[in-house]
Amino acid sequence: MKDTITIRLPEKLRKELDRVTKAENISKSEIIRDAVARHLAVKRFHLLRKKTLPFAEAQGLLTDEEVFKAIS
C-alpha cells in the first residue's frame, strides 16, 4: 500500500525540482522516491560498516581497499 506524505521544500529547491521534472519528463514523486531510497541505502551501508568495522580491524583490515581485496 502506498502512503501519501507531504513535505515542505524551500522555494529554491522546489524550483530546481520543477526544472528537473520538466527536463527529464518524470514526476516529482519519482525523483523524491529515488532520493529517499538512495539516502536510506547510504544509511544502511554506514550502519553495516559501523557494525563490521571492529571485526575487520581485528583481522588487520584497516581500509576499504583491504576489505575489498580480501573478499574478492
**Digit-coded pLDDT (tens) for 25-37:** 999 999 999 999 9
Please tell me the distance from the alpha carbon of residue 65 to that of residue 60, in angstroms, as a whole number.
12
- Phi, psi (deg, nearest 5) at residue 56: -65, -45
User: What predicted TM-score, i.e. pTM, was given to this entire model?
Assistant: 0.72
- The mean pLDDT value for 16-24 works out to 97
65: which 3 cell numbers?
Answer: 581497499
